Structure 1
Amino acid sequence: MQTPVPDYLTHVLSQCAANSQGALADYIPELAQANSKHLALALSTVDGTIYASGDDTVEFTIQSMSKPFAYALALQELGLNAVLDKVDVEPSGEAFNQISLDPVTKRPKNPMINSGAITTHALIPIQQGEQRAEKLRQFLSRLAGRELCFDLKVYESEIQSAFRNLSIGYMLRTVGVLAQDPLEIVYGYIKQCAILVTVKDLARMSSVLANGGIEPLTGERLLDGAVVRQVLSVMLSCGMYDSAGDWLSSVGIPAKSGVAGGIFGVLPGQVGIAVFSPKIDTHGNSVRGVKIFERLSNDMGLHLMQGTPSAQTILQSRYVLEQYQDVIVYELRGVLQFTESEMLLRRLQNEPAGNSTILLDLTNLTLVHNVGARMLFEGVKRLHADGHTVKVVDSENILSEAQLKGHKREVVNEALEKYLAKFHS
């Protein structure tokens, strides 16, 4: 069988594709030339698997989505206190390019608005002859697992219209937040925003944050856990600018957007998600991207405030019954929600087509989320299509009647039920 996750992502894109609201970011001339029809979605798991759909090979500039990673790099190298001395962490309730400082501290209110991001860029430590944008590009390349590059056309285009950011830079220099030449820092910040990525790059970068700073495929620790916690906390409260409250209530995933049309989000311990659709709203957020995130959050139960516990492993054991040679048992444990269901389906897709009997034993599950039940029965359907007989052993009635709607709670024969009971004694 094939896991249904890619099909689901394609379905979500198809449901949101018709939305034509929003406009291209025409204040940056090069972005005004973008193809507004582009639409892509990628999802990463904490073990490094990436699913993608749509225009997932199209590159676009990272723009403000670079801000959390620049913040992470500064925190990693300088420590929290040194960064807090220059940039606060309070939601601003203002547009991303507002020219303002906190009236009490005289510092930028958070690192996700431009004044805070320009300050954060200046904090990145460099050696003589090194450029901060280049250092960040190298760091992002490690997170993405490939060499990223700059879009110099977008960089030069934005430089020509950078008057507002330059005003912010000179304001920061005037109050003593910046010690360097504002022109150098602002141009470096603009260049960091011109790094090219795809949704798959962003998904892989997100998976490092979802995995607590550890690169899932290599096991290398790229960021301290405390750094990741700080970054995700600020993303949750400040990442979506002056629509952060709406985002928190409707989506509930720490996220960051960019005016080229990208949004990436991170649900700790579960998934990283990235979308791309160039038309943005008045807040600077991708219109279709927001709708896709709302759909994913509702469908997959990803809202951070739902508080459902997550397990890293759903499969307790897989074995062939000695007295029933063609009976394969998958013994599950813990909580079955999206992350665990995806892991289970990925194991089930390794079963070769044939006429085996497969038992999915739910006895040791403590909770089945609605999305877990839907994915479970989708896996059952696909195993049936491969020629298998599949039975769900739910002796504890963990599945609700609503979750069983359209399906039946299958039972095994009495002798086999007693045989299975020995494994739970």
Structure 2
Amino acid sequence: MNSLITDYLAEVLDEVRDDTAGEVPTYIPALQKADPNWLGVALCTVSGNVYSTGDSSPEFTIQSVSKPFAYALALQEFGIDKVREHVGMEPSGEAFNELSLEEEDKRPLNAMINVGAITINQLLNGTDSTVEDRVEYIRKYFSELAGRDLRIDEDAVEGELEGADRNLSIAHMLRSYGIIHDEAHDAVLSYTQQCSILVTIEDLAVMSATLANGGVNPKTGKKILDADVCRHTMAVMASCGMYDAAGRWLAKVGIPAKSGVSGGLIGALPGQLGIASLSPRLDEVGNSVRGVTVFEHLSDDMGMHLMNTENRAGSHAVRSITREGDCTTVHIQGIVNFVAAEAIVQVLNQHDFTTGRVLLDVSRIVESHPIARRMLKEGLRRLREDGHEIGVIDPEGELRSRVLDDGSRLPLVE
């Protein structure tokens, strides 16, 4: 199944590969060194399966993709009500680095823009924390989310601080209103080091899947965040995570997301999976051009839109498994999207089929998505490779085509 999903992801990347729109940011020296042709995507399901293709190994600075994770840590430390005293949760309608606060309360509007993210950073590990202790606290927490030890790119920190006038202005403004208490330079140094933690797209997929999984890292099984913290964080991501394009994103893609100026883009679909992509060229509002298109493809093909009015319960996709003579039939049901199809194929892979013939009964499927149909057929093809005779019960033609990836045809059973 891994090869099928990675092959599909590779096809998605091929669809966008020739798009050279957008520009690599030049105001941060480390970002100028990035290869503009980097292109990769990774998925991590809440069951802990990771699939990736393209440029999945390059490390890059996390930048603004760090914001939702830092926000979740603040919520975990202090609770939602306390954090709301410092940072709101409304879309700003302004640039990510705007010097703006709420008119009455003088709070940052949300934690997904720089003014809110610097405020959140200064809450972590307590307001009396040293810069060194705070940064190490954040680094260790990000490492727990990723399931491996992450490090900071000190060269990137140094280069970014040389051009940090805008963030220094934000920090001075926050300090003037008593929102933060550290010296402006220390606040920006701490925040810049947070943004300079090095990650891969597989790291980000696992981190995002931890949010989607109610705070449990699906790779390590460790409980890191409370479920209500994850729910709240993803809600703010949905409304504020894509800067000025947040409304269009929610309507078209429908996945809680966050972008970063290094070209990273994450999504967390509650109860299902985390997604991450990398493509350094950015559009006019600071989002990865090809990354956005990749997410649009995934949302359409896999039925991932948050507002889909369909049952996503992949654990109930297999209705029953029956045996009659030398034939075993796997009966599936409901709406089969990517998560449901993965659950079905896992059953096909792990079940001990002692009979020679295996049938897949899809007559109770209500709806299926393109990638899900490919996954089901691939699961059967692999059973055939293991020596089983295969077939499908499909009176309504739900699988559309019965042609398998190797060009052979799946037998139809009446």
- Does the pair score TM above 0.5? yes
1:48-98 Cα distance to aligned partner (Å, 9 max, x none): 000000111110000000000100001001111110000000000111111
| Mapped partners of 1:59, 1:354: distance in 2 | 45
Q: Is the 8 A contact 2:63 2:262 kept in 1?
A: yes
| Mapped partners of 1:269, 1:158: distance in 2 | 36
Relative to structure 1, is the Cα distance of residues 202 and 145 closer, same or farther in structure 2, using a 3 angstrom cutoff?
Answer: same
Q: Is the 8 A contact 1:16 1:288 kept in 2?
A: yes
| Mapped partners of 2:135, 2:227: distance in 1 | 24
Give 1:310 deviation, angstroms: 1.2
Q: Is the 8 A contact 1:25 1:31 kept in 2?
A: yes
Q: Is the 8 A contact 1:392 1:410 kept in 2?
A: yes
Among 218, 221, 224, the alignment partner of 1:222 is 224
| Mapped partners of 2:16, 2:274: distance in 1 | 20
Give 1:271 deviation, angstroms: 1.4
| Mapped partners of 1:342, 1:323: distance in 2 | 28
Partner of 1:70: 70
1:187-241 Cα distance to aligned partner (Å, 9 max, x none): 1001100000000001111111111111223432211011001100000000001
Partner of 2:93: 93
- 1:370 maps to a residue whose letter is H
Give 1:185 deviation, angstroms: 1.1
* Superposition pairs of residues 193-204 of structure 1, within 5 angstroms: 193-204=195-206
| Mapped partners of 2:331, 2:103: distance in 1 | 59
Q: Tell me, what secondary structure is at the counterpart of 1:306? A: coil
- 2:390 maps to a residue whose letter is V
1:344-391 Cα distance to aligned partner (Å, 9 max, x none): 22343458999932111336x463323333432344455556654322
Among 114, 131, 135, the alignment partner of 2:133 is 131
Relative to structure 1, is the Cα distance of residues 52 and 2 closer, same or farther in structure 2, using a 3 angstrom cutoff?
Answer: closer
Partner of 1:417: none
| Mapped partners of 1:2, 1:204: distance in 2 | 16
Q: Comparing 167-176 with 131-140, which one deviates more in the overlay? A: 131-140
Give 1:336 deviation, angstroms: 1.8
Partner of 1:154: 156
1:119-150 Cα distance to aligned partner (Å, 9 max, x none): 00011124855522221110010111100000
| Mapped partners of 2:24, 2:366: distance in 1 | 44
Partner of 2:59: 59
| Mapped partners of 2:314, 2:258: distance in 1 | 25
| Mapped partners of 1:349, 1:106: distance in 2 | 56
| Mapped partners of 1:353, 1:81: distance in 2 | 53
Give 1:33 deviation, angstroms: 1.4
Partner of 2:325: 323
Partner of 2:407: none
Q: Is the 8 A contact 1:170 1:182 kept in 2?
A: yes
Give 1:262 deviation, angstroms: 0.2
* Superposition pairs of residues 204-243 of structure 1, within 5 angstroms: 204-243=206-245
Structure 2 residue 345 is matched with structure 1 residue 345 = yes
Q: Which consecutive residues of structure 2, in runs of 5 or more, have no partner in the other structure? A: 404-409
Among 253, 268, 278, the alignment partner of 1:251 is 253
Partner of 2:32: 32
1:373-419 Cα distance to aligned partner (Å, 9 max, x none): 3432344455556654322234xx5x5x575356789335xxxxxxx
Among 398, 401, 404, the alignment partner of 2:400 is 404
Q: Is the 8 A contact 1:3 1:349 kept in 2?
A: no
Q: Is the 8 A contact 1:4 1:379 kept in 2?
A: no
1:244-269 Cα distance to aligned partner (Å, 9 max, x none): 11111111100001100000101111
- 1:173 maps to a residue whose letter is R
Q: Tell me, what secondary structure is at the counterpart of 1:304? A: coil
TM-score by length of 2: 0.91
Structure 2 residue 393 is matched with structure 1 residue 369 = no
- 1:102 maps to a residue whose letter is E
Q: Is the 8 A contact 2:40 2:278 kept in 1?
A: yes
TM-score by length of 1: 0.89
| Mapped partners of 1:33, 1:221: distance in 2 | 36
* Superposition pairs of residues 255-274 of structure 1, within 5 angstroms: 255-274=257-276
Partner of 1:360: 360
Give 1:4 deviation, angstroms: 1.4
Relative to structure 1, is the Cα distance of residues 132 and 307 closer, same or farther in structure 2, using a 3 angstrom cutoff?
Answer: farther
- 1:404 maps to a residue whose letter is R
Q: Tell me, what secondary structure is at the counterpart of 1:131? A: helix
1:82-119 Cα distance to aligned partner (Å, 9 max, x none): 10000000000111111111112211000000000000
Partner of 1:11: 11
- 2:58 maps to a residue whose letter is V
- 2:400 maps to a residue whose letter is L
Among 309, 315, 327, the alignment partner of 2:311 is 309
Q: Is the 8 A contact 1:101 1:107 kept in 2?
A: yes
Partner of 2:142: 140
Q: May I ask how many residue pairs the two structures share in their alignment?
A: 404
Q: Is the 8 A contact 2:265 2:288 kept in 1?
A: yes
Partner of 2:190: 188
Q: Is the 8 A contact 1:354 1:386 kept in 2?
A: no
- 1:143 maps to a residue whose letter is L
Q: Tell me, what secondary structure is at the counterpart of 2:29? A: coil
Q: Tell me, what secondary structure is at the counterpart of 2:52? A: strand
Q: Is the 8 A contact 1:2 1:382 kept in 2?
A: no
Give 1:276 deviation, angstroms: 0.4
